[in-house]
Amino acid sequence: MFYPSYRGRRIRGREVFRRMVCETSFSVNDLIYPMFAAFGSGIRKEISSMPGIYQQSVENIVAEAREVYQLGIPAVILFGIPEFKDSVGSSACLETGVVQEAIRALKREVPGLAVITDVCMCEYTDHGHCGVIKDGDVDNDATLELLCKEALSHAEAGADMVAPSDMMDGRVRAIRETLDNNGFTYLPIMSYAVKYASGYYGPFREAAESTPQFGDRRSYQMDPANRLEAIREAAMDVNEGADILMVKPGLPYLDIVREVRNEFNLPLAVYNVSGEYSMVKAAARNGWIDEDRVVMETMTAFKRAGADLILTYHAKDVAALLLKGW
């Protein structure tokens, strides 16, 4: 393609042509909105590093979920801030746990909204790690048992899908077996298949009160430097029965989103994580970027990289912009 026989600007020069040759689009159907369910009542506390995102008790979760549903967003993903924490995360599996109560309330009050649950121990352990500790590190196989119990308790409360985010080996198979053995054969698993040990989770840990009290998560989450390992991790989860794969974080890992999309044919989700959200909000508040434009450009980037679904704290804003005809 050579100038002057080819001139890229011919087709870019008019709005109607730009519309005709646009390669990537997205819709409200692609969005999943994360929410933080807090134990208690009358709670609606904004997360200081995540403007517009709240820790909320169940009645306020339901109120916001109505809004989410009316915007046409198909699903939320729930995280829990429990009544108490202990070394084995007991509050993760209680029938009356905060997430379990939130699921029941949501399915009763906003039945058309799909409720996905994050399955992990870090919100429920006093040490803040994603499983049980043995000899200073998270014990893989002991943690699997707890994750299975947690996933089952979410299913029994009425969750529509479970999403394990712990990065233990074998957890998709273990959870699949537990669900199948208990009559939840058709409950899908969205696996955080490729999850990096990332600095971009900082604001989330304030939101979920889940900062590790010692060490870090590098013995179970992935090294940001690794690409081939991402394919191995995704392949494992495919073999173990995952229904949807996820890559996390989003923007710094678009190459990985593309790799996983090219390699596997399962639906693919990307998590536009807390730190990515906070950076956009902070820059917008300073008047340094046009927030709407940057947010929509970011969604386009995820779709272009190959994602089908986008977990994002911007979901309500994106849905509203789409309704306005963006």
Residues that bind ligand PBG (CB under 6 A): 118, 120, 122, 130, 165, 201, 204-205, 273-274
Residue 118: strand pairing partners:
163
Phi-psi domain of 128 (left: phi exceeds 0; alpha: psi -120 through 50; beta: other)? left
Of the pair 59, 206, the CB lying nearest ligand PBG is at: 206
Taking CB under 5 A as the criterion, which residues in 91-120 touch Zn ion?
120
Of the pair 120, 269, the CB lying nearest ligand PBG is at: 120
Pairing of strands 114-119, 161-164: parallel
Of the pair 118, 259, the CB lying nearest Zn ion is at: 118
Determine the residue with CB nearest ligand PBG: 204
Q: Distance between CA atoms of 61 and 54, rounded to whole angstroms?
A: 9
Rule CB under 5 A: say whether 130 interacts with Zn ion: yes
Of the pair 182, 202, the CB lying nearest ligand PBG is at: 202
Of the pair 122, 163, the CB lying nearest Zn ion is at: 122
Stretch that binds Zn ion, among 69-77, 128-136, 154-162, 311-319 (CB under 5 A): 128-136
Q: Distance between CA atoms of 229 and 209, rounded to whole angstroms?
A: 29
Contact partner at residue 118 from Zn ion, ligand PBG, none, CB < 5 to 8 Å by partner kind: ligand PBG
Residue 45: strand pairing partners:
55
Query: How many residues does the structure list for the chain?
Result: 326
For residue 12, the minimal CB distance to ligand PBG (Å) is: 36
Q: H or E stretch including 230?
A: helix 228-240
Contact partner at residue 274 from ligand PBG, Zn ion, none, CB < 5 to 8 Å by partner kind: ligand PBG
Structure tokens at 299: 């969604």
Q: Supply the residues annotated as catalytic.
A: 195, 248
Strands (E), the chain: 31-38, 44-47, 50-56, 75-81, 114-119, 133-134, 137-138, 161-164, 190-195, 244-248, 268-272, 309-312
Placement of tokens 């979760």 in the chain = 61
Rule CB under 5 A: say whether 122 interacts with Zn ion: yes
For residue 198, the minimal CB distance to Zn ion (Å) is: 12
Rule CB under 5 A: say whether 296 interacts with Zn ion: no
For residue 122, the minimal CB distance to ligand PBG (Å) is: 5
Contact partner at residue 201 from Zn ion, ligand PBG, none, CB < 5 to 8 Å by partner kind: ligand PBG
Structure tokens at 147: 């994750």
Chain residues binding Zn ion by CB under 5 A are 120, 122, 130
